[in-house]
């Protein structure tokens, strides 16, 4: 056994997902954002949506556990993101007062400001949808480096609008999962005239006169409208609306049909949702756009199937977001 080369053996084991310490896609764990171009971040937060099951903070761990399985070459773009860019798992945002949503929002914003100062683009896994607000406040708007001081165009995949201006708080949380899409507009981090909310479905608390109306100025494409106009027209709307603006993508897993994402906080069974392959085609249609960051939110792992289909779907979509950003960066 004296001739057993342990370091060589470790290299030979790298492709196997079940070996080693789990990180996102088995990439290096380095907490310094200065050392990478794309930062993979877990945001284990659950106190921004108190009206559903609370265990969305377990999402990052679930995606890390399955993502080592994913092959890292992107066939459609013809490259391996990890070979073209420095991509690290930065670990999780520390949230020592995790049960206090509005305090945690301040901590999340402070954490992502480190990434903004470094010019590092984040792809994050939550956590409930409250996390998107402080991320946008850190990397978009007049003081942000990543967005070039500009407001972000927002592509918001979701079954719900999360722009509840008419409600002062959500069970005590002011900057909640139901409010972030409104206050980021009011505080001038998001430009609604360049933004799209896609995949809305299910019954509201009160019927709306016009389900495509947004008082804030978002362009709304409900799921039924998406199925009517199709993928190419949807891509055209997003591209025309965002133009050359810095684009942020936020993805609530409940936008997907329940057959592919059963382990979500605000499940909408009985109403047809988007399929993962449709989302992938939309993301491919955004190739070349200036995507400054992305997140995936609202998974509750203990609700998942034995095959972990929700976590696996989140993994696939996270990889597409990484590839979309990496493909743009390698062309600059």
Structure confidence by residue, pLDDT tens digits, 99-157: 999 999 999 999 999 999 999 999 999 999 999 999 999 999 999 999 999 999 999 99
Q: What is the pLDDT of residue 276?
A: 98
pLDDT at 231: 98
Asked whether residue 139 is assigned to any structural domain, the reply reads yes
Domain of residue 218, CATH code: 3.40.800.10
pLDDT score of 329: 97
Task: Please state, rounded to an integer, the average pLDDT across all residues of the chain.
Answer: 93
213 is written with which tokens?
Answer: 């109306």
Residue found under tokens 């200036």: 290
- Does the pLDDT at position 164 exceed 90? no
pLDDT band at 315; cut points 50, 70, 90:
very high
pLDDT on residue 104:
93
Per the domain annotation, does 10 fall within a domain?
no
Domain that holds residue 100: 22-331
Length reported for the chain: 332
- Both tokens of residue 87? 């991509």
Mean pLDDT of 252-275: 95
Residue 17 lies in a domain: no
- What is residue 173's predicted lDDT score, i.e. its pLDDT? 72
pLDDT per position as a tens digit, 31-84 = 999 999 999 999 999 987 877 777 999 999 999 999 999 999 999 999 999 999
Q: What is the pLDDT of residues 190-205, one digit of tens each?
A: 999 999 999 999 887 7
Is 200 within a domain?
Answer: yes
Task: Look at residue 12 and tell me if it is in a domain.
Answer: no
pLDDT at 170 over 70: no
pLDDT of residue 2: 72
**pLDDT on residue 205:** 75
Cα atoms in the Cβ-side hemisphere of radius 13 Å centred on 322: 33
Total tally of structural domains belonging to the chain: 1
- The reported pLDDT for the residue numbered 177 is 73
Contact 218, 196 (CB under 8 A): yes
In a domain, 11, yes or no: no
Tell me the whole-structure pTM to 2 decimals.
0.95
Predicted confidence (pLDDT) at residue 286 exceeds the cutoff of 70? yes
Residue 208, CB-side half-sphere exposure with 13 Å CA sphere? 14
65 in a domain, yes or no?
Answer: yes
Share of the chain above pLDDT 90, in %: 80
- What CA–CA distance (Å, rounded) separates 120 from 142? 17
Q: Is residue 7 in a domain?
A: no
């Amino acid at each position: 056994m004296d001739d057993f080369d342990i370091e060589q053996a470790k290299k030979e084991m790298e492709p196997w997902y079940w070996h080693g310490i789990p990180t996102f896609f088995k990439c290096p764990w380095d907490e310094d954002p200065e050392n990478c171009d794309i930062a993979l971040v877990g945001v284990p937060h659950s106190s921004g949506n108190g009206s559903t099951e609370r265990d969305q903070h377990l999402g990052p761990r679930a995606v890390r556990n399955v993502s080592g399985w994913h092959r890292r070459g992107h066939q459609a773009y013809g490259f391996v993101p990890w070979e073209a860019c420095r991509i690290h798992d930065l670990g999780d945002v520390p949230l020592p007062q995790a049960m206090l949503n509005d305090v945690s929002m301040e901590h999340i914003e402070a954490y992502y400001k480190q990434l903004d100062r470094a010019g590092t683009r984040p792809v994050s896994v939550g956590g409930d949808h409250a996390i998107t607000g402080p991320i946008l406040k850190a990397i978009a708007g007049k003081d942000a480096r990543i967005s070039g001081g500009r407001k972000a165009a927002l592509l918001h995949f979701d079954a719900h609008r999360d722009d509840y201006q008419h409600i002062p708080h959500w069970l005590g949380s002011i900057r909640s999962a139901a409010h972030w899409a409104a206050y980021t507009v009011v505080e001038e981090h998001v430009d609604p005239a360049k933004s799209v909310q896609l995949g809305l479905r299910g019954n509201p608390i009160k019927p709306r006169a016009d389900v495509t109306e947004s008082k804030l100025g978002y362009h709304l494409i409900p799921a039924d409208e998406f199925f009517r106009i199709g993928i190419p027209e949807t891509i055209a709307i997003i591209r025309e609306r965002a133009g050359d603006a810095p684009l942020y993508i936020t993805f609530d897993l409940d936008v997907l049909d329940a057959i592919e994402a059963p382990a979500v906080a605000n499940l909408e069974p009985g109403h047809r949702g988007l399929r993962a392959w449709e989302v992938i085609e939309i993301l491919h249609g955004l190739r070349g756009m200036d995507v400054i960051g992305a997140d995936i939110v609202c998974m509750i792992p203990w609700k998942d199937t034995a095959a972990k289909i929700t976590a696996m779907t989140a993994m696939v979509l996270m990889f597409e977001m990484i590839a979309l950003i990496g493909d743009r960066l390698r062309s600059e």
